């Protein structure tokens, strides 16, 4: 299939969401794509072979940033709570799971083909121009689109040595079903009572029609999902709770509140299983787009799996002694999309001493490098002390040691990858056993003794963390 749909990811269609007035973000996709490649966050996949549509490889900095985001999600959703436990389910599993879940028959997007250039597009991503005419985003021809047909987005494969349809299996298009099929196993082994949740982080796969939007929409991506099982009568309250809680999590990562909003789905937007869904959306430079979905899935999934498997997937209410089918609230977010949104939102350009600089104002908790250790000169005399400082800090934070080029250039490089603090070791250090801490955002410098360095770094990192409002302070 051609990917002509989105040659210009920023302007070609509303594929990332609804168009709207430009936000205050300074970066567009092009800027971040180039920075990400130049600095080692994200590379086109298998670039030496010309890349592969909608596939990306994460480089040294990208890997660190993703680990941070993943860990923060797990910490907030599992570690710090008593009511949520984790699973890691198989990516390729019994295909009956996908029949029961409705994905085999319903997980489709409307696909249209241009009769002129044969480009294929998602019908719901095309918009009429001012004259009400739909033009092909690839060749510009008006009125050349064929009739939409439903295109199933699951990627499939053949499992086993015999290459026929009996071995047909799917790569999971969401991690959620892994939680539903394990509901009974988890409930009995963890002895959780309602309400409780099951969380999972892992890869999902979708044969997306519209791609070329960098890591916003790829065919292989990582999801962080949690299924919260609750009493049907309390499910709407829980839906409201999770909308707020998830918004708080994004604030904590450093997304600016003015660039986030909650939007409730209209009835015709709801998925086949959903009774209510809200999206947490980001105000990108090109308009609003989905970051996370908080869906109310009702009892759809457990009921479907009970019917298809013949197993009882219920909860015995200890108060009434009745079996009930819990309702489910699901916050589901893409790790790749979180990372992209943070990079876009953090990107800034300012001027220091009359020189333009690019700076990523990332929160310390997500920045790929937390502290850079920079000996002022490459002279051997500074190295042992600088290395000692670096290994001391490495025990707690991600540290980068850099002794190449001028100190000014090294500061700029750290600013551009979002490193919150630089520690400089200079010739005075040898006498006074003190170093300089330089802050990324203000470029302010303070001198501290090496013995007090860890405490000083910790204090400054804490001060740089974004403020997170309490649940009550969030109005939706």
Longest dimension (CA), the chain: 78
The residue (of 283 and 440) whose beta carbon lies closer to ligand ATP is: 283
Stretch that binds ligand ATP, among 113-121, 245-253, 326-334, 371-379 (CB under 6 A): 326-334
Of positions 120, 135, 217, 239, contacts ligand ATP by CB under 6 A: 217
The residue (of 226 and 393) whose beta carbon lies closer to ligand ATP is: 226
Q: What is the DSSP string of 305-316?
A: HHHHH-----EE
* CB proximity list for 181: less than 8 A, separation 6 or greater: 89, 93, 97, 305
CB-count exposure of residue 88 (10 Å: 0-12, 13-18, 19+): exposed
Which residue minimizes CB distance to ligand ATP?
334
Contact between 336 and ligand ATP per CB under 6 A:
yes
Both tokens of residue 341? Answer: 């949104």
Contact between 334 and ligand ATP per CB under 6 A:
yes
Both tokens of residue 207? Answer: 């044969």
In angstroms, the CA 245 to CA 56 distance is 30
Residues 102-131 that bind ligand ATP (CB under 6 A): none
Stretch that binds ligand ATP, among 38-46, 64-72, 216-224, 410-418 (CB under 6 A): 216-224
Shortest spacing between CB 328 and ligand ATP, in angstroms? 14
Of positions 152, 177, 187, 223, contacts ligand ATP by CB under 6 A: 223
Stretch that binds ligand ATP, among 82-90, 215-223, 230-238, 255-263 (CB under 6 A): 215-223
* CB proximity list for 246: less than 8 A, separation 6 or greater: 280, 292, 294, 331, 333
Q: 101-134 as b/e, with b when 16 or more CB fall inside 10 Å?
A: bebbeebebbbbbbeeeebbbbbebbeeeeeeeb
Peptide bond into 173 cis (omega under 30): no
Of positions 207, 218, 314, 424, contacts ligand ATP by CB under 6 A: 218
Shortest spacing between CB 345 and ligand ATP, in angstroms? 15
Shortest spacing between CB 55 and ligand ATP, in angstroms? 11
Contact between 330 and ligand ATP per CB under 6 A:
no
Residues 253-312 that bind ligand ATP (CB under 6 A): 290-293
Shortest spacing between CB 304 and ligand ATP, in angstroms? 17
In angstroms, the CA 35 to CA 50 distance is 19
Residues 53-82 that bind ligand ATP (CB under 6 A): none
- Binding-site size, ligand ATP (CB under 6 A): 16
The residue (of 135 and 212) whose beta carbon lies closer to ligand ATP is: 212
| Cβ neighbours, 10 Å, residue 330 | 23
In angstroms, the CA 470 to CA 468 distance is 7
Stretch that binds ligand ATP, among 260-268, 327-335, 383-391, 465-473 (CB under 6 A): 327-335
The residue (of 259 and 440) whose beta carbon lies closer to ligand ATP is: 259
In angstroms, the CA 155 to CA 233 distance is 37
Identify the residue whose tokens are 């989905």.
Answer: 290
Contact between 328 and ligand ATP per CB under 6 A:
no
The residue (of 285 and 394) whose beta carbon lies closer to ligand ATP is: 285
Q: For residues 315 and 198, is the Cβ–Cβ distance under 8 A?
A: no
| Cβ neighbours, 10 Å, residue 468 | 15
371: three-class secondary structure by DSSP: strand
Of positions 208, 281, 415, 426, contacts ligand ATP by CB under 6 A: 208
Of positions 198, 333, 453, 457, contacts ligand ATP by CB under 6 A: 333
In angstroms, the CA 167 to CA 341 distance is 39
Of positions 103, 120, 206, 413, contacts ligand ATP by CB under 6 A: 206
Contact between 221 and ligand ATP per CB under 6 A:
yes
The residue (of 221 and 347) whose beta carbon lies closer to ligand ATP is: 221
In angstroms, the CA 440 to CA 464 distance is 10
* CB proximity list for 200: less than 8 A, separation 6 or greater: 86, 87, 88, 89, 175, 178, 179, 223, 224, 225, 226
The residue (of 23 and 223) whose beta carbon lies closer to ligand ATP is: 223
Shortest spacing between CB 251 and ligand ATP, in angstroms? 17
* Interface ranges with ligand ATP (CB under 6 A): 174, 206, 208, 217-218, 221, 223, 290-293, 332-334, 336-337
């Amino acid at each position: 299939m051609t990917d002509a749909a989105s040659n210009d990811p920023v302007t070609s269609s509303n594929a990332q969401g609804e168009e709207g007035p430009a936000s205050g973000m300074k970066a567009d996709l092009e800027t971040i794509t180039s920075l990400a490649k130049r600095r080692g966050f994200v590379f086109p996949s298998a670039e030496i072979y010309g890349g592969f549509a909608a596939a990306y490889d994460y480089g040294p900095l990208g890997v660190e940033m993703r680990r941070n985001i993943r860990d923060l999600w797990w910490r907030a959703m599992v570690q710090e709570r008593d009511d949520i436990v984790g699973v890691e389910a198989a990516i390729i599993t019994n295909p009956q799971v996908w029949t029961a879940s409705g994905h085999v028959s319903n997980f489709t997007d409307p696909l249209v083909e241009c009769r002129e250039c044969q480009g294929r597009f998602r019908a719901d991503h095309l918009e009429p121009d001012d004259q009400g005419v739909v033009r092909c985003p690839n060749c510009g021809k008006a009125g050349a689109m064929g009739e939409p047909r439903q295109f199933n987005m699951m990627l499939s494969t053949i499992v086993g040595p015999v290459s026929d349809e009996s071995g047909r299996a799917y790569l999971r298009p969401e991690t959620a079903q892994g939680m539903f099929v394990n509901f009974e196993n988890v409930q009995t082994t963890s002895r959780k009572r309602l309400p409780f949740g099951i969380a999972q982080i892992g890869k999902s796969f979708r044969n997306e029609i519209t791609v070329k939007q960098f890591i916003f929409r790829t065919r292989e991506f990582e999801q962080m999902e949690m299924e919260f099982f609750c009493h049907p009568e309390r499910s709407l309250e829980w839906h409201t709770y999770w909308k707020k809680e998830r918004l708080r999590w994004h604030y904590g990562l450093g997304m600016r509140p003015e660039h986030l909003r909650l939007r409730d789905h209209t009835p015709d937007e709801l998925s086949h299983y959903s009774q209510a869904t809200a999206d947490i959306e980001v105000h990108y430079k090109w308009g609003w787009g989905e970051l996370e979905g908080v869906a109310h899935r009702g009892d759809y999934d457990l009921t479907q799996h009970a019917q298809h498997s013949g197993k009882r997937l219920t909860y015995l209410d200890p108060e009434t002694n009745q079996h009930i089918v819990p309702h489910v609230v699901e916050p589901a977010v893409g790790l790749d999309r979180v990372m992209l949104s943070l990079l876009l939102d953090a990107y800034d350009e300012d001027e220091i001493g009359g020189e333009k600089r690019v700076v990523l104002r990332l929160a310390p908790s997500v920045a790929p490098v937390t502290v850079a250790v920079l000996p002022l000169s490459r002279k051997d005399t500074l190295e042992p002390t600088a290395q000692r400082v670096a290994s001391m800090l490495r025990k707690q934070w991600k540290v980068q040691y850099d002794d190449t080029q001028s100190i000014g250039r090294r500061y700029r490089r750290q600013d551009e990858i979002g490193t919150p603090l630089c520690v400089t070791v200079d010739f005075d250090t040898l006498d006074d056993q003190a170093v300089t801490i330089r802050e990324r955002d203000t470029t302010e410098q303070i001198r501290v003794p090496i013995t007090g360095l860890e405490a000083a770094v910790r204090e400054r990192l804490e001060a740089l963390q974004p403020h997170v409002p309490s649940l009550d302070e969030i109005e939706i």
